[in-house]
């Protein structure tokens, strides 16, 4: 219980703040709708209402507050509206339906996982190269850092367009953008991890006349494990962001990114929020799974 109390307190505070904000965000549309339905609202001129501060409108029309929580297309949906939409689009829809979030979530997840595997593999290989070759250390690292300074939103459409022009579309371009974001933390973490053994430990292996490969497998790689898992957690979250961003210019309205995009086209804020919540849940589960793998691996290695 002691562990959960702080967590619950924070969640409760977020929900309280959220519910408190909803009336102010939705009051103008709610008043217009109520006026059309024949209610008396103050002020009664739409132009005056447009220019009035939300706070004043809520105070003057306190009767309309309940209605702000029940709009069809709220500017800010209340948590229960998002929860209802999530329920309807995940549990109540067949997962083959284009309106099922499970369907869209899987599209994003598959690109995320493929990208994560490519990014992690590439990142580890790069790190091994950087640690063992001075030339690579000097040449690759600056490029790796530079690659992360380019806004992903700028480069994602280019990758999609270029790959599309050579006939590659669908999963692979999205996975590549995912990998582009996730390889970097793995490179940085693994370089640090592979260099973690100190001079004394390297000298010890030198007294055994160990080969480079033996130094790598027996010392550098095991020593890097704690660093690797820390990087993987960042990397998998970055991979998910990459997959979602990649879905924005991809068109076709598939995946969680696609849901967010169509939601903004049609003013369906609830749909955007649902996709957001699902993305957050996916990220949390992925990070949790890596944390689990970390605990199992380090325990087996006797490091915890």
What residues make contact with other proteins under the rule CB under 8 A? 200-201, 203-210, 214, 218-219, 222, 225, 301-303
Closer to other proteins at the Cβ: 206 or 295? 206
CB of 214 to other proteins, least distance (A): 5
Q: Distance between CA 299 and CA 304 in Å, rounded?
A: 5
Closer to other proteins at the Cβ: 168 or 223? 223
Closer to other proteins at the Cβ: 102 or 225? 225
CB of 220 to other proteins, least distance (A): 11
Q: Distance between CA 304 and CA 300 in Å, rounded?
A: 9
CB of 255 to other proteins, least distance (A): 40
Q: Distance between CA 181 and CA 119 in Å, rounded?
A: 8
SS (H, E, C) the chain: CCCHHHHHHHHHHHHHHHHHHHHHHHHHHHHHHHHHCCCCCCCCCHHHHHHCCHHHHHHHCHHHHHHHCCCCCCCCCCHHHHHHHHHHHHCCCCCCCCCCHHHHHHHHHHHHHHHHHHHHHHHHHHHHHHHHCHHHHHHHHHHHHHHCCCCHHHHHHHHHHHHHHCCCCCHHHHHHHHHHHHHHHHHHHHHHHHCCCCHHHHHHHHHCCCCHHHHHHHHHHHHHHHHHHHHHHHHHHHHHHHHHHHHHHHCCCCHHHHHHHHHHHCCCHHHHHHHHHHHHHHHHHHHHHHHHHHHHHHHHCCCC
The angle at the Cα of 290, spanning 289 to 293, to the nearest 5 degrees, equals 90
CB of 203 to other proteins, least distance (A): 6
Closer to other proteins at the Cβ: 144 or 223? 223
Q: Distance between CA 215 and CA 209 in Å, rounded?
A: 10
Residue 148 near residue 205 (C-beta atoms within 8 A): no
Closer to other proteins at the Cβ: 73 or 206? 206
Closer to other proteins at the Cβ: 140 or 210? 210
Closer to other proteins at the Cβ: 149 or 207? 207
Closer to other proteins at the Cβ: 104 or 220? 220
CB of 185 to other proteins, least distance (A): 23
CB of 297 to other proteins, least distance (A): 10
CB of 177 to other proteins, least distance (A): 35
């Amino acid at each position: 219980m002691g562990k959960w109390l702080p967590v619950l307190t924070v969640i409760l505070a977020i929900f309280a703040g959220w519910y408190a904000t909803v009336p102010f965000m939705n009051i103008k549309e709610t008043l217009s709708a109520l006026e059309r339905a024949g209610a008396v609202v103050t002020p009664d001129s739409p132009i005056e209402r447009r220019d009035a501060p939300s706070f004043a409108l809520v105070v003057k029309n306190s009767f309309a507050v309940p209605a702000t929580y029940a709009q069809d297309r709220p500017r800010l949906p209340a948590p229960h509206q998002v929860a209802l939409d999530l329920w309807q689009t995940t549990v109540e829809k067949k997962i083959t339906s284009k309106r099922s979030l499970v369907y869209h979530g899987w599209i994003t997840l598959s690109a995320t996982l493929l990208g994560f595997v490519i990014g992690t593999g590439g990142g580890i290989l790069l790190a091994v190269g950087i640690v063992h070759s001075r030339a690579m250390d000097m040449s690759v690292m600056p490029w790796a850092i530079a690659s992360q300074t380019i806004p992903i939103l700028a480069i994602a459409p280019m990758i999609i367009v270029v790959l599309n022009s050579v006939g590659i579309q669908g999963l692979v371009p999205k996975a590549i953008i995912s990998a582009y974001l996730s390889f970097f933390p793995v490179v940085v973490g693994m370089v640090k991890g592979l260099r973690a053994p100190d001079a004394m430990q390297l000298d010890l292996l030198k007294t055994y006349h160990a080969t480079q490969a033996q130094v790598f497998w027996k010392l550098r790689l095991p020593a890097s494990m704690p660093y690797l898992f820390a990087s993987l957690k960042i990397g998998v979250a970055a991979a998910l962001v990459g997959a979602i961003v990649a879905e924005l210019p991809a068109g076709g309205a598939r995946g969680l990114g696609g849901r967010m995009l169509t939601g903004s086209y049609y003013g369906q804020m609830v749909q955007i929020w649902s996709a957001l919540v699902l993305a957050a849940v996916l990220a949390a589960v992925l990070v949790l799974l890596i944390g689990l793998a970390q605990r199992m691996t380090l325990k087996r290695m006797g490091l915890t």
